[in-house]
Chains A and B, each alone.
Chain A
Amino acid sequence: MAITTNGHSNGVNGKKTPATLSKVQTATRQSHVRNLSRLANFSTQVISSTPESAEPDSTVDEILSHGATTTFFGEIIALIQQGKLTREELDQKLLHWILTIPGARKKFGRLSDETKGFVEDFKGADLKKGKGVPGVGFKRPRESLRVHRCEAEMKAAWTDQVNADGGKGYPSVVENDGRPVRYVNKATFKNWGETVETKPSVIPLQYVVNSEITFLPKSVVGVQNIVKYAKQVNKRVRVSGYRSASHPSTKLTKDIPGKTSSPTTTIS
């Protein structure tokens, strides 16, 4: 949160809040920091907040969550020391606590209804009596994972591409069913560990505009046609993944050594 020269504060989303409110937020967060530090030594006073709490209402929530958090960590540490807490009981308490935090509550709201249903069931379950035990049929939600967020972004970019050029900009690059391989323009690839960032290079004046193409094939034939197209336009091809990879094998090269212009196309 940045403090501007006129005394207003800009929240994460850029909204301005009155100076007095920002002072309250600042003081609250400073006390959060002090108290969470004490948690590291297993003290009981803990407060937390989120970067999304820029609105006036959430400041009140922040202060209210202070009290809930203080009680919560005092309880769990006592139970842990007495050996009375099971893993699932700890998780249930963590869930109750984290949902008192405004920003986390907001992110929870973005989960699918199915996932929220499982979470609500678990939140309300009486674990000691074994009643209302949740989890049967649970499948890991896709939307909370970064890789699936990346896929969603790519799908949205493909939709934009269809709106821009009808999605038929590369007629020779088709899947096994004859449909065009999806592609997006000017996508920047960042790997999972955020240690590699790269962009496809430019195919000058490809059809209408300079293109920096990332293809999203669904079939082996689609991959073959991408490579054939790359050969045709004298490009290189690298495969980009979204999973656990931190090294530069996914990085693209601007130029092939010894040549003046042979940039790279990617497959994603």
Chain B
Amino acid sequence: MCHGAGLRNPTLSDLVREVEFVDAHGELRTVSDPALLKTAAGSFGSFGIVTAYTLRLDKMTYADMRPHHAPVELAIPPPLEYILEAKAGNPKFRYIKELIAPHSQETLDAAYKEFVRQAENDYYAEWFWFPGQRDIWVNTWNNDGLESLSRNIPSDFEAFLEWLEEWIAEEVCNWAVFQLLPGESQAKILGFLTLLQMPNIKPGDPSRTSKPLRSRLTGLVTTELINGLHFRRGIQNLQCCSMHWEIGIPAQSSNAAKRQSLPPPATGVARSRSKRMHRKRFSLGKSSVPEIPADLPEPQNAPGDLVETGEYKVRRDWSTVQKAWWDGILATHAQPSILRLAQEMRIMSESNIGMAPQRGHTLGNCSIEVLTTLNTPREEWQKFCQKMTDTWLAYRDPTTGAKLSCRPHWCKQWSFLKIDNDGERIGIIEWMRKVAYKDAIPEFVEGVRKIGEGAGFTLDECKARFGNDLVDSLVWGGPVVQTGVPPEEPSRVIINRFKRWLKRLFH
């Protein structure tokens, strides 16, 4: 159920058309019923060992890629709320004030419009911030390139450079002396060198064809879409710690737009799932027309497409996305030793897979991730992750005031987190059962039961053959076992203790 990028693109699991698996009796089975695939395509191995997926792919198209560096305050401008706070002198936003000081409001507005244009219209949309850097790397593109101009990327030489850079980075990270450096220094060195190595196609770059090797590798690239789908080959092999949240993008709310877009009191039977979900989101019980908070700032003069949700048209509230991005940057700025690799963000579509974290995010999904090296002291990293989780999960729908739907990426770090639930701090698995996947889990279990009915195995047999702590507690209703994290490498523990001793000695 991994994220993709681009508002039209769902998860990889949404492309699955058939699942082949070994069931609890050791028999080979397949599932291709679309209703059952919502369970089978994202199942944590709970009912069998998957041996093959069949995916439905689009016809090949060609990506016109023009990745570039852009100033951090313009690539994704801070939300208006934060700009106003910064101008009012709020010390929490002093960094934003410094960044936006040279720019006029027109420049910031134009930057915001460009960001929204990229997020809403580009086929693929991702942004990277490397710690301590003034620029971010923007990689949004469309798949309307010409086949005649397409070239295979990376070329052999580019693949070699990517491998070499990754090898050097890994060796640097594993050096005892580099590990002895203050975390902030490690972050800045890695961030500086990484950003340098990312392509930067400047406006007006005339080339649309592959250049001779001796020139800079910054030419505009047209390539088969599949080559453009991840920003860098092999980077997933650089060991890191990572936390990643999927945040549902809410609808924009304005005094005028609210009156237009709010539904009448819910009556009758919903005609479609989207309408039912819209009514569910906007209905508040006795009164379906919420009061407009008096102190709610007017939204920025926002572009963005009108999106139909049932009977009403709304615009996406991109300020939530801006806040998520900038809260990460501000948290890192306040604690510069903690994030040593990158903050990444992608905009993508919702998912129809039952247990996908993007499920139900009808207007789109903000996938935001923070990554650091294994040299970051584990306890500090977990505290930072908890802090960011608390921040991102506190966002509210601008219209209803309800908390936004947010769920962690299954394959990243989340098991140690605690979530604030109605004033009570509970473990994340308990929160998933009670809140985040409250409806999805019973649907999932029913889906597995139906798959088993067709294949000749029972739920108990699945539990007996393929369970573990996570699956038992999350899906099968077993006791919640808060999974701990194994101890850090002894050498890193020694180095971190030595650094703390040095710090005490000299401060």
Cβ of B101 under 8 Å from chain A: no
A246 CA / B479 CA spacing, docked (Å): 22
Contact B467 A253 (CB under 8 A): yes
A248 CA / B474 CA spacing, docked (Å): 12
A222 CA / B410 CA spacing, docked (Å): 28
Cβ of B34 under 8 Å from chain A: no
Contact with A along B358-375 (1 / 0, CB 8 A): 000000000000000010
Contact B413 A193 (CB under 8 A): yes
A253 CA / B491 CA spacing, docked (Å): 28
Q: A36-B189, A48-B177, A136-B156 are in contact. Are A236 and B467 (CB under 8 A)?
A: yes
Q: A98-B171, A223-B51, A231-B25 are in contact. Are A247 and B240 (CB under 8 A)?
A: no
A247 CA / B471 CA spacing, docked (Å): 12
A145 CA / B353 CA spacing, docked (Å): 32
CB distance from A11 to the nearest CB of B (A): 10
CB distance from B407 to the nearest CB of A (A): 13
Contact B22 A227 (CB under 8 A): yes
B467 CB contacts on chain A under 8 angstroms: 236, 253, 256
Contact partner, A138, options B156, B175, B196, Cβ 8 Å: B156
B174 CB contacts on chain A under 8 angstroms: 51
A247 CA / B411 CA spacing, docked (Å): 5
A89 CA / B95 CA spacing, docked (Å): 34
Cβ of A20 under 8 Å from chain B: no
Cβ of A195 under 8 Å from chain B: yes
Contact B28 A107 (CB under 8 A): no
Contact B464 A103 (CB under 8 A): no
A31 CA / B156 CA spacing, docked (Å): 39
Cβ of B236 under 8 Å from chain A: yes
Contact A33 B180 (CB under 8 A): yes
Contact A227 B49 (CB under 8 A): yes
B236 CB contacts on chain A under 8 angstroms: 243-244
Cβ of B117 under 8 Å from chain A: no
Contact A247 B470 (CB under 8 A): yes
Contact B164 A256 (CB under 8 A): no
Q: A236-B465, A249-B470 are in contact. Are A147 and B177 (CB under 8 A)?
A: no
A88 CA / B494 CA spacing, docked (Å): 36
B44 CB contacts on chain A under 8 angstroms: 249
Contact partner, B471, options A127, A195, A197, A249, Cβ 8 Å: A249
Q: A1-B176, A39-B189, A251-B468 are in contact. Are A197 and B486 (CB under 8 A)?
A: yes
Q: Mark out the residues of chain B between 195 and 239 whose CB falls within 8 Å of any chain A CB in the assembled complex.
A: 196-197, 199, 212-217, 233-234, 236-237, 239
B156 CB contacts on chain A under 8 angstroms: 135-138
Contact B196 A90 (CB under 8 A): yes
B242 CB contacts on chain A under 8 angstroms: 193, 246
Cβ of B485 under 8 Å from chain A: yes
CB distance from B190 to the nearest CB of A (A): 10
Q: Mark out the residues of chain B between 111 and 159 whose CB falls within 8 Å of any chain A CB in the assembled complex.
A: 132, 155-159
Cβ of A268 under 8 Å from chain B: no
CB distance from B496 to the nearest CB of A (A): 14
Using a Cβ–Cβ cut-off of 8 Å, how many residues does chain A contribute to the interface with B? 85
Contact A29 B177 (CB under 8 A): yes
Contact A238 B217 (CB under 8 A): no
Q: A33-B181, A146-B237 are in contact. Are A128 and B214 (CB under 8 A)?
A: yes
A80 CA / B203 CA spacing, docked (Å): 20
Cβ of A210 under 8 Å from chain B: no
Q: Mark out the residues of chain B between 368 and 411 whose CB falls within 8 Å of any chain A CB in the assembled complex.
A: 374, 410-411
Contact partner, B49, options A104, A145, A193, A237, Cβ 8 Å: A237
Cβ of B109 under 8 Å from chain A: no
Contact A29 B486 (CB under 8 A): no
Contact B164 A246 (CB under 8 A): no
B158 CB contacts on chain A under 8 angstroms: 135
A100 CA / B26 CA spacing, docked (Å): 55
Cβ of B93 under 8 Å from chain A: no
Contact B411 A244 (CB under 8 A): yes
CB distance from B499 to the nearest CB of A (A): 9
A12 CA / B27 CA spacing, docked (Å): 50
Q: Mark out the residues of chain B between 242 and 267 whose CB falls within 8 Å of any chain A CB in the assembled complex.
A: 242
A233 CA / B168 CA spacing, docked (Å): 47
Cβ of B241 under 8 Å from chain A: yes
CB distance from A90 to the nearest CB of B (A): 6
A179 CA / B159 CA spacing, docked (Å): 38
B167 CB contacts on chain A under 8 angstroms: 144
Contact A220 B241 (CB under 8 A): no
Contact partner, B466, options A118, A128, A236, Cβ 8 Å: A236
Q: A2-B494, A251-B468 are in contact. Are A86 and B217 (CB under 8 A)?
A: yes
B98 CB contacts on chain A under 8 angstroms: none
What is the chain A residue whose CB lies nearest that of B233?
A140
Contact A95 B177 (CB under 8 A): no
Contact with B along A228-256 (1 / 0, CB 8 A): 10110010111100011111110111001
15 contacts between A and B (CB under 8 A): A33-B180, A37-B181, A39-B185, A86-B217, A88-B157, A130-B212, A133-B157, A145-B237, A190-B486, A227-B23, A236-B465, A236-B467, A239-B45, A249-B468, A256-B464
Q: A127-B214, A135-B159 are in contact. List 18 more A-B contacts (CB 8 A).
A: A12-B491, A32-B180, A36-B181, A37-B181, A48-B175, A80-B196, A88-B213, A98-B168, A135-B158, A141-B163, A193-B241, A194-B489, A224-B27, A227-B24, A236-B467, A238-B45, A256-B463, A257-B479
Closest 6 CB pairs of A and B: A135-B157, A228-B26, A197-B486, A51-B176, A130-B214, A40-B185
